[in-house]
Structure 1
Amino acid sequence: MTKELDFDAVVIGAGLTGLYQTYRLREMGYSVLGVEGSDDIGGVWHHNRYPGARVDSESEVYGYFWNEELMQEWNWSERFAAQPEVLEYIHRAADIMDIHKDYIFNARVKKAVFDDENNYWTLEFEQQYRAPVTARFVFSALGPLSAPQMPNVPGINTFKGESFHTANWPRDPNGFGPAALDFSDKRVAVIGVGSTGVQVIQEMAKVAKNLTVFLRSPNWCTPLGNGPMTQERMDYIKSNYHEFIAKCDASIAGYTHEFIPKNLFDVPKEERDAKLEELYKGPGFSLWLGAYQDVLSDPVANKYVSEFVAQKIRERVEDPRTAELLIPKDHGFGMKRVPLETDYYEVYNQDNVSLVDLNTTPITRITPDGIQTTDTLHEFDVIIYATGFDAVKGSWNRIDIRGTDGVALKDAWADGVTTYMGMQCPGFPNFFLLVGPQSGATFCNIPRCSALAVDWLSEMMAHAKETDIQRIEPEPDAAESYTLYCTKLMGKLLLGQTNSWFTGINKNIEGRDKREVLLFVGGNPRFREYCEDVTRNDYKGYVMS
């Protein structure tokens, strides 16, 4: 007797990608349930409500391009939208999709088990009051930066003051932004200087009585170039969305920035320096993703640009010793994700801001009164942990996902991730990854690039529906071949030779000190070509039955 399943498909996650995937499946006639661990939609924009949180993509290219109504009605207020506005946008998109009704909330998936004989998944939840759910297909839109990571330091729970991780910031109960917290008379510590740390440090420096930044691994930060979005520009964008979409789809990372088709040293010094000066001022990732074509692959060209940015830091930070601490020594410009900033370096010129170099005086423990380093106890009223995430694969590792023969996905990935197209793993039929390891959308402007992946998968699911396919899984050889392709592409870029979350390194997690290939860095157009080739050849690399 065939078991009657609860749903045709389950989508895990209610961020931008999960909402769109749920919508596409529903509109195609699948019975679909969206499950979300939190209490509402929005994904990272629902959780990451820390002061200063905002997009580092230009507002007009961050969002949904498939809905004409939304594109024409929505007016962004800034060139780089702040978190409350992004979350409001997501809620408006959800209204247009009428998607809330397709989700259950406070439903965090604990375990997912595949029935190999009958080709379906059973999902169990951390909440005991949630009954298990069965479905033929599972789409996991967990997000590459959604598993918060605390530092590996003893005593965190002994601190008597207030403490926050930026990814679990207190929320405004009546709005889309952060809770109204008062730091004006507080001694505040911020641990971490990645993209999030930079944003929150800028804001804390404006309001805290004293701010102490604990720095271990400085990053190359460049100006955001933010400002108000004029109505004239918004009108132009609405009239020319096709142009912005085409630029995003032609670029390596789904932005409107394009590399200059020349090598750095083929350009006269005066001209190249003037161009770097122009790109440095922004907007957005102009210098990272719009400089000369060899800057991210040629060590000599990269060193030249790194020294250019280092000199900018020296010019902006008054104390030479502090400036040198803020200049990365372990990687060149663009080898890690480049944080974008607004007067970040000037913060260190303020009397209320101090810097602690953790390479010289590491943290030994958190105490009831503050942070103990090897040389002294720093006392605080507030500690802010801007220590990031267990990136890219962490969200999947935190769920017990069992494929054929009861093999755990975490164990299958223990010696390195292997996927086919970043969408499926051998041994895990009917289980799809969205914006995960080796996906074309992860090293990319996620809303745009993940929509392309969702659209491709949705075409596959339409084919499955038409032909009554019950099981989809990748051939092991196809997955090995694709992963080797990702490895070769990664090897061409200097970032593949750098320790970062791009390459799976995380100093806060034991055993995460070996580089692995987590990204597809071949660029948006190349990934689309790969997908189109698979489709043209009757979904080659997939076994469907």
Structure 2
Amino acid sequence: MSGTDGVSSNGNAPMVHDVVVVGAGFAGMYSLHKLRGLGFDVAVVERADGVGGTWYWNRYPGARCDVESMQYSYSFDPELEQEWEWSERYSGQPEILRYANHVADRYDLRRDIHFETTVERVDWDDDARHWHLQTDRGLYRARFVVMATGCLSTTNMPNFEGAETFAGPTYHTGNWPHEGVDFSGLSVGVIGTGSSAVQAIPVIAAECQELTVFQRTPNYSVPARNEPLDPGEQARWKSNYREMRAKMLEQNAAMVQRLPDGEELAKEADAAEFYDRMQQRWDVGGFTFYRAYSDIALDAESNDRVAQFVRDKIGEVVDDPDVAAKLTPHNTIACKRPCLDTNYYETFNLPHVQLVDVSDTPIERISQAGVVVDGREYPVDAIVYATGFDAMTGTLLRMNITGRGGMRLADHWDAGPRTYLGLGVAGFPNMFTVSGPGSPSVLTNMIPSIEQHVDWISRCLVELRERGTATIEPEPDAEAYWVDYVNAVADLTLYPTCNSWYLGANIPGKTRVFMPLPGFPPYVEVCEDVASDNYRGFALA
């Protein structure tokens, strides 16, 4: 398959559409609904056999959203807002997947989604000015491609020596068996203590006979305080949804908190006032904890004061001082995606749970019977890899995308991902990325970010159609400027001080570039300004 010969690898003629959307998660479903309603012929290709994206694959025990249910939902249809009932403050994976399926059924999306279809390569034909997408089910041809592939969709599986020799079952939190897993009576090893592990470990511990957690880097976590959603609170949201949605879009993370943002500086607060404020937010739970003072993400002294509050809490909760010390981080707080938990630290007080610190003495290998660290074998019946994702770029790079002149996306991004506004890539005409690197994406409530991107892309395609414009792509200078701008904004914060997946630091050999842009409202203003100024920074042919 050359990518430009117009014939599928199986000899069949290509399936031709105006737009092909890759991915049927929340971004792909909204893209289909929006563009189809604007008169475009749209097809969605999805490797899974159902909708939901992240919430289709991440079915691990305890999987739950860290954004409150009333805010982690579509806003494009007031009727949908009113008819759907959420059951908990923070929705679990099964409920979110039910919501995704409800949306797919309500808007008859499945008829244009081609499930169990994996994209193998994507090639731009400069003469014909369209894209060829070779999949394992045949060839697609389209003027436009919308990459709705998600920020956390390609799992990161570590390459431990001997992993293939392990006699028991292995699982990854990002690709969990749909039929579930029964750990009753088993000895389980969990490798990793990131966000998914913080959620999964208490649930697995409640079921298994023995749990061994292998921790490389301890994580800060604050209580979620999840609970059944009060009917009165849900009714208040539904009666004021337009006002609340507007308030969400005014916030840097596109979500409103249960307590107002503190405007003061943490480093200047007196001891009693500081403790009372942080304790109140600890008790309320959720991300409001990190909004107690205005400079937590900006000033190292203030940040460390908040971090020490959490360190002290770990020492209070965990009975064994040695275990508490191992669980206590000493890096910047909130420079990684903050974890919200339900009884995570308390789990390490259980007699059948042990913590193995692998920061100084890494895992040597996986044996037939378990995990070997510093010459000692820890026998386990099953291994759970909670090792995260090749975030934001992994899925795109695995699709073997080539643009103008045969330029490979992997080569263009060799020194780190380069986009303009997180929406397009220079040299790759008519290709849009939803929540791509260079946009606020994972630093926000994802669904408002998705809606903003899809609305922008949709308006752009309508204008191109009305003008009779064939192609649009970022200009190289605009792309270079945007990469520098994103990093300059990030450098005003403490985010780059951690080796996090925001920088790709969890993937061996991946170039470390800060990928998301802090600050949702200023970003939206820039996008609107660019569009109103005849798509400044884009080349229109």
TM-score by length of 2: 0.95
Contact 2:163 2:367 in 1 (8 A): yes
Alignment match, 2:216: 216
Letter in 2 for 1:306: A
Report what 2:74 is aligned to: 64
Map Cα deviations across residues 499-545 of structure 1 (whole Å, 9 max, x no partner).
11111212xx3312x52131111x11101110111122111111112
Name the counterpart of 1:541.
Answer: 537
How far is the alpha carbon of 1:361 from its aligned partner? 3.3
Distance 1:259 1:495 in 2: 19
1:137 matched to which residue of 2? 144
Deviations 1:78-134 (A, max 9, x none): 000110000000111111221111110111111000011221000011x2xx11111
Give yes or no for contact 2:89–2:229 (8 Å, CA) kept in 1. yes
1:262 corresponds, among 257, 261, 264, to: 264
Measure the CA separation in 2 of the matches of 1:482 and 1:163. 41
Which of 493, 514, 517 lines up with 1:517 in the alignment?
514
Once residues 480 and 363 of structure 2 are traced to their aligned partners in structure 1, the CA distance between those partners, rounded to angstroms, is 42
SS of the equivalent of 2:312 reads helix
Cα RMSD after superposing both structures: 1.5
From 114, 117, 121, the equivalent of 1:107 is 117
Indicate the residue corresponding to 1:42 in structure 2.
Answer: 52
1:328 to partner: Cα distance: 1.3
Q: Indicate conservation of the 8 Å contact 2:332/2:497, yes or no.
A: no
For residues 46 and 164 of structure 2, what CA distance do their matches in structure 1 show?
27
**Residue of structure 2 in register with 1:434 after alignment:** 434
On the 8 A contact 2:198/2:341 being kept in 1, the answer is: yes
Distance 1:21 1:459 in 2: 12
Please state whether the residue corresponding to 2:336 is helix, strand or coil.
Answer: coil
Equivalent position amino acid for 2:328 in 1: I
Map Cα deviations across residues 463-497 of structure 1 (whole Å, 9 max, x no partner): 11111221011111111111111111010111122
Counterpart for residue 294 of structure 2: 293
2:222 touches 2:285 (CA, 8 Å); kept in 1? no
Matched residues in 2 for 1:199 and 1:497: separation? Answer: 25
Q: Check if 1:146 corresponds to 2:156.
A: no
> Superposed, which structure 2 residues align to 1:320-469 within 5 Å?
320-329=321-330, 331-469=331-469
Is 1:284 the counterpart of 2:286? The answer is: yes
Q: CA offset at residue 422 of structure 1?
A: 0.4
Match of 2:169? Answer: 162
Q: Secondary structure at the match of 2:190?
A: strand
> What amino acid sits opposite 1:287 in the alignment?
F
Determine if contact 2:64/2:93 at 8 Å carries over to the other structure.
yes
- Which residue identity is paired with 1:286? T
SS in 2 for 1:349: coil
Alignment: residue pair count: 528
What corresponds to 2:525 in structure 1? 529
Cross-structure match for 2:10? none
Tell me if the contact between 1:361 and 1:375 (Cα under 8 Å) persists in the aligned partners.
Answer: no
Whether contact under 8 Å (2:27, 2:148) holds in the other structure is: yes
Shift of 1:152: 2.3
Question: What's the secondary structure of 2:249's corresponding residue?
Answer: helix
Per mean C-alpha deviation after superposition, the further-off stretch among 390-399 and 53-62 is: 390-399
Give the secondary-structure state (helix, strand or coil) at the position aligned to 1:501.
coil
- Distance in 2 of aligned mates of 1:267 and 1:510: 41
The alignment status of 1:317 with 2:315, answered yes or no, reads no
Bigger mean CA offset, 368-377 vs 130-139: 368-377
Query: Match for 1:160: what amino acid?
Result: A
Partner Cα separation in structure 2 for residue 55 and residue 215 of structure 1: 23
Preserved contact between residue 20 and residue 145 of structure 2 (Cα < 8 Å): yes
Identify if the C-alpha distance between structure 1 residues 90 and 350 changes in structure 2 by more than 3 Å, giving closer, same or farther.
Answer: same
Between the aligned partners of 1:140 and 1:385, the Cα distance in structure 2 is 27
Residue 439 (structure 1) shift: 1.7
Partner of 2:11: none
Q: Distance in 2 between matches of 1:526 and 1:397?
A: 29
How far is 1:5 from its partner?
7.3
Aligned equivalents of 2:66, 2:302: Cα separation in 1:
25
2:458 counterpart letter in structure 1: S
| Conservation of the 8 A alpha-carbon contact between 2:267 and 2:301 | no
Residues 407-435 of structure 1: CA distance to partner in whole angstroms, max 9, x if unpaired? Answer: 11011001122211000011000111112
**Counterparts of 2:298 and 2:128, CA distance in 1:** 48
Decide which moves more: 265-274 or 410-419: 265-274
**Deviation at 1:354?**
0.3
- Which of the residues 90, 104, 107 maps onto 1:97? 107
Q: SS state of the match for residue 280, structure 2?
A: helix
> What is residue 176 of structure 1 aligned with on the other side?
none
